[in-house]
């Protein structure tokens, strides 16, 4: 804990372009969490290089992501917004934790198997050790809670296992993090394949709404959204395309799916698609304008990057020095 607040850690990778799913499912909810928790929101650029990146593009996307955090409403005076690569303690602690993690545990990580299949030409050690770096990210800040999706739950479990193992050997060192259970963000699915989550890596650009898509593009994508032939607007699993559209509309309108069903009762799929497209465009418009304003203010963003990195570094090094001392590394002469 920091003061009387529990610590919350989360982050997003600086790859691809964020989608409406990232915004409604996570980023939008991060804003309110800063009132309840001491929040560390990381731009996860070290994890990003498990897949080959163009250097200039990675730098550009990392800055754009940090700007998006602020544009979404996160106050950088209340939450610590920083680049993972600007705090060397992440990499230093990850190496130490590698030495307290077993090969058998890592071999069970399902995400490694999935990503190896997608990137068969670049199955690197970083991809294999990804969960240990994630553990270091979380444990450095003594995080009490971590918001995770189902696909990351296994990584949080191994983080807990590593922390408990270290604590059992050396005494209380790390806070054992819990999964954040709170307001659940909307789970947004692909517009072209509603059985899959909307993804920034989707090969079909019509399946995802990107946060910087213009109004015409947004409306066009919703017009092409996959539905069904039942000609009935209902919120049920048997109609995944319609259910997804209702989820998106509800999340943007601040209504329940049941209220949305009532609103569109007796209306056609075309009207539903048009209405969802318009409300999504209206929702993203102020975010896009704020991003443009922040992007133009280089001095302000640079000051946020510098000040927040210093804050993150202070807390991270506090944990790192404790760990180094416990395992027997020589103390630094100041």
Distances (CA, A) of 139 to 69, 105, 112, 151: 22, 18, 21, 19
How far is it between the farthest Cα atoms of the chain?
75
Q: Is 78 a catalytic residue?
A: no
187, 200, 255, 326: the active-site residue: 200
6, 28, 115, 243: the active-site residue: 115
CA distance 215 to 222: 11
Distance of CA 65 to the CA centre of its chain: 10
Which residues, including other chains, have CB under 8 Å from residue 89's CB and lie 6 or more apart?
Answer: 136, 140, 313, 316, 317, 319, 320
Residue 105: CB atoms within 10 A of its CB come to 15
Distances (CA, A) of 62 to 18, 41, 43, 253: 11, 13, 6, 30
For residue 229, give both structure tokens: 């032939």
Q: Is 187 a catalytic residue?
A: no
28, 197, 243, 273: the active-site residue: 197
> Do the beta carbons of residue 41 and residue 74 sit within 8 Å?
yes
Q: Is 197 a catalytic residue?
A: yes
* Residues marked as catalytic: 115, 197, 200
């Amino acid at each position: 804990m920091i003061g009387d607040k529990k610590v919350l850690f989360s982050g997003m990778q600086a790859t691809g372009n964020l989608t409406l799913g990232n915004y409604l499912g996570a980023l939008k909810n991060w804003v309110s969490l800063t009132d309840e928790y001491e929040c560390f929101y990381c731009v996860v650029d070290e994890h990003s290089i498990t897949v080959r990146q163009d250097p200039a593009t990675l730098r550009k996307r990392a800055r754009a992501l940090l700007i998006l955090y602020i544009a979404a409403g996160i106050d950088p005076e209340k939450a610590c917004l920083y680049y993972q690569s600007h705090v060397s303690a992440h990499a230093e602690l990850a190496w130490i934790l590698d030495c307290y993690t077993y090969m058998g545990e890592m071999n069970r990580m399902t995400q490694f198997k999935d990503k190896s299949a997608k990137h068969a030409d670049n199955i690197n050690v970083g991809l294999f050790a990804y969960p240990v770096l994630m553990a270091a990210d979380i444990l450095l800040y003594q995080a009490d809670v971590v918001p995770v999706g189902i696909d990351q739950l296994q990584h949080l479990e191994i983080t807990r296992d590593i922390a408990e193992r270290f604590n059992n050997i050396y005494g209380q060192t790390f806070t054992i993090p819990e999964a954040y259970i709170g307001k659940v963000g909307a789970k947004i699915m692909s517009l072209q394949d509603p059985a899959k989550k909307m993804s920034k890596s989707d090969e079909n650009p019509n399946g995802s709404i990107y946060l910087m898509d213009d109004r015409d593009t947004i409306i066009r994508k919703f017009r092409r959204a996959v539905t069904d032939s039942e000609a009935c607007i209902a919120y049920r699993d048997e109609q995944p395309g319609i259910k997804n559209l209702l989820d998106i509309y509800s999340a943007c309108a601040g209504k329940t799916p049941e209220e949305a069903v009532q609103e569109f009762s007796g209306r056609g799929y075309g009207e539903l698609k048009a209405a969802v497209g318009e409300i999504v465009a209206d929702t993203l418009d102020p975010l896009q304008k704020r991003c443009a304003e922040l992007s133009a203010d280089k001095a302000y963003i640079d000051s946020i990057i510098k000040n927040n990195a210093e804050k993150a570094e202070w807390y991270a090094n506090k944990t790192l020095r404790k760990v180094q001392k416990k395992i027997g590394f020589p103390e630094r002469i100041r």
